[in-house]
Amino acid sequence: MKKIFSFIFISLNLIFVFAQKGHFYGGYEAYFQYYQNDDVTNITAPSDKFRAMNYLSANYSYDFLKAGIQYEAFVPQALLGFSPDLKGNGLATYYVQLKKNNWDVTAGYFYDQFGSGLVFRSWEDRQLGINNSVRGIRVKYKIDDIGDITAFTGNQRINFKLSESTLSGINTDISLSKLIDYQDININAGFSYVNRYQESQSVNPDLKPYVGSFSSRLSLDTNNFYTNFEYVYKEPDARASNNVLLDQVLFDGNAWLLNFGYAKKGIGFNATFRRLENIQMYSERLLEGNSFNTGVMNFIPGLAKQHDFSLANIYVYQAQPGISFGEEKVGEIGGQADLFFRIKRKTFLGGKYGTKIALNFSRWHGLNARFDYDKKIYRADFAKPGELYFQDFNVEIRKKLNKRTKIVLSYIDLIYNKLKLEGEGETVYAGILVGDVEHKFANKQSLRLELQHLNTRQDFRNWAAATLEYYFSQSFSAYATDMYNYGNEDKKIHYFNLGMNYTHERTRLGLSYGRQRGGLLCVGGVCRYVPPSKGFTVNISTSF
């Protein structure tokens, strides 16, 4: 295997040096921060006050060949809130891909997803510090227009190293409608199997090195209606906590996902139900529960509305797929629903330009379970919900007042069980009101003002926030934001930020200075904890 990847690396270098045809492209992205002490929040800057994260990628494609590399540098180490193991620099990923006729073969590092990702997903998200690509071989074959089948084997990336385990998987997606030549309803089916092989020194003879996960899927859509269902089963495995293997009792896991909806011009509805029980999977057992998502094999986002406003992101929901006897948690059950509709133009409520309204409701409970602490086992009910973890009801109205001015009004009513979701605190009942106004001037400049208020009697009490952003042109903008915890009885703190953004062709530069509130940063329902800090931030990205 080492000889194979040495050959791949040498081939990549030869391609980049000698290629006279084809397309060469890539990009550079960097995040810099300089931290300062903050007497207001009593924060002491780290000894490495300056930190940087750099990503340089280069790709080449010609005919049926595609190849690329990615070089990364975390010097002296990654920004606060990212894994402390992200340090140093080196060649992070590389690949060669051949696509011809119905075949697609990749050697090196690759990303993929089976179904919704509940059984397997490898992806990169630099904002979250996630890169769980797999280094190995992946082969995909397209079965004409009926479907495709994918198989892979390899080791998952763990920062600059590779997992001790070997991952293998197979996935197939088939259009049953085309297979049986039935066009009235579009019916698709899928099946996945992913296996992790990891040697163990456990004295428990039932703990096998092989642990597999299965996924079965079915989707149907016709006219304006659609629905899909997925079931996942994970074979029994040991758990881990604080880098300690808990192998006396093995637990299996499962996930149920149902989604359905209706959409046509002017109106849309979507609803999702999900039940998770011990379904989070890691490429190494001792990585279980780490806060940096290192070694995560599958994709389990929090299914609640992803709000754009700062105060709405103080209390955000993370999926609860794991087992904790101390916290009496074994999973989650719940769902969310969205309703979108547009009031027509030239009506009493729609006005001259019409009005867009979006309603969202999500509610999540823990699984109702009974625990036997002596035997270290539990029994969970299938459909009966346990303690309430989170609830969010929100409405958003978007309205264009005239050719140059538009507004967004939003109200959010939420319940947040801080004890269950963060390990300490009380249940928070909060109401959040947001108003956003944007006006475009005749000289192509624009001004945006956003005002927010969060009202609660729990936790740190009331907050107020404001954002003022001015676009001098399509290329240059400046902004000022502030979040003020005026209801805090111990210390009323301003979390301010001043910054600017400049874009020229394919290059973007962002500069800012301010105070960061500690909390969760979420992208696509996956979150990481951001510690409180103060200082300067520079972001640079470009492509070629």
Q: Is 387 exposed, middle or buried (0-12, 13-18, 19+ CB in 10 A)?
A: middle
Q: Is residue 87 assigned to a domain?
A: no
Report the pLDDT value the prediction gives residue 228, as an integer from 0 to 100. Answer: 97
Mean pLDDT of 378-398: 96
Would the pLDDT of 4 be above 60? no
DSSP string for 394-441: EEEEEEE-SSSEEEEEEEEEEEEEHHHHHSSS-EEEEEEEEEEEEEE-
Q: Could you give the CA distance from residue 154 to residue 132 in angstroms, rounded to a whole number?
A: 12
In the predicted model, what is the mean pLDDT of residues 423-428?
A: 93
| Residue 41 structure tokens | 């929040």
Q: What is the DSSP string of 11-48?
A: HHHHHHHH--SSEEEEEEEEEEEEE--BTTTTBPPPSS
Q: What is the three-state SS of 283-341?
A: CCHHHCCCCCCCCECCCCCCCCCCCCCCHHHCCCCCCCCCCECCCCECEEEEEEEEEEE
Q: 251-305, pLDDT tens digit by residue?
A: 999 999 999 999 999 899 999 999 999 999 999 999 998 889 999 999 999 999 9
CA–CA gap between residue 158 and residue 92 (Å, rounded) = 10
* Helix, coil or strand: residue 9: helix
Residue appearing with tokens 């992070």? 92
Same domain, yes or no: 272 and 317 = no
pLDDT digits (tens, 9 = 90+) for 88-129: 999 999 999 999 999 999 999 999 999 999 999 999 999 999
| The two three-digit tokens of residue 82, written as one number | 């990212």
536 and 422, same domain (yes or no): yes
For residue 347, is pLDDT > 90? Answer: no
**Domain membership flag for residue 61:** no
Residue 446 has pLDDT above 90, yes or no: yes
CATH label of the domain that carries residue 120? 2.40.160
Last residue of a domain, one of 273, 300, 327: 300
In this structure, the answer to whether residues 307 and 389 fall within a common structural domain is yes
User: What radius of gyration, in Å, describes the C-alpha atoms of the chain?
Assistant: 25
Kindly state whether residue 8 falls inside one of the protein's structural domains: no
359 and 289, same domain (yes or no): no
Residue 528 and residue 388 in one domain: yes
Helix (H) or strand (E) segment spanning residue 4 = helix 2-18
Q: Verify that 436 and 542 share a domain, yes or no.
A: yes
**From CA 278, how far away is CA 289, in angstroms rounded?**
12
pLDDT at 3 > cutoff 90: no
Residue 53 domain-assigned? Answer: no
Assess whether 367 and 509 both reside in one domain: yes
Residue 522, token pair as written in the block: 């979420």
Residue 243 has pLDDT above 90, yes or no: no
Indicate the average pLDDT of the chain. 93
| Same-domain pairing of 279 and 371 | no
**Number of domains forming the structure of the chain:** 2
pLDDT tens figures, 474-485: 999 999 999 999
Distance CA 222, CA 409 (A): 34
Tell me the mean pLDDT in the region 389-403.
95
Residue 180: the pLDDT is: 87
Domain boundary among 249, 276, 300: 300
Confidence of residue 19 (pLDDT cuts 50, 70, 90): low
Q: pTM score, two decimals?
A: 0.91
pLDDT digits (tens, 9 = 90+) for 74-87: 998 999 999 999 99
The answer on 385 and 262 residing in a single domain is no
pLDDT score of 497 more than 70: yes
Instruction: Identify whether 168 is part of a domain.
Output: yes
Helix (H, G, I), strand (E, B) or coil at 184: coil
Residue 1 forms part of a structural domain: no
Q: How confident is the model at residue 14 (pLDDT cuts 50, 70, 90)?
A: low
The last residue of one of the domains, among 248, 279, 300, is: 300
Q: What is the pLDDT of residue 482?
A: 97
> Would residue 28 count as lying in a domain?
no
Assess whether 383 and 522 both reside in one domain: yes
Domain containing residue 241: 101-300
Tokens coding 399: 């309205």
Q: Are 296 and 308 members of one domain?
A: no
Domain-located, residue 12:
no
**Percent of the chain scored above 90 by pLDDT?**
83
Bond from prior residue into 46 cis (ω within 30 degrees of 0): no
| Stretch 462-480: mean pLDDT | 96
Structure tokens given for 147: 């479907």
Clarify whether residues 203 and 222 are in a common domain.
yes
**Residue 12's pLDDT band (cuts 50, 70, 90):** low
The reported pLDDT for the residue numbered 130 is 94
Among residues 62, 297, 268, which one has the least CA distance to residue 168?
297
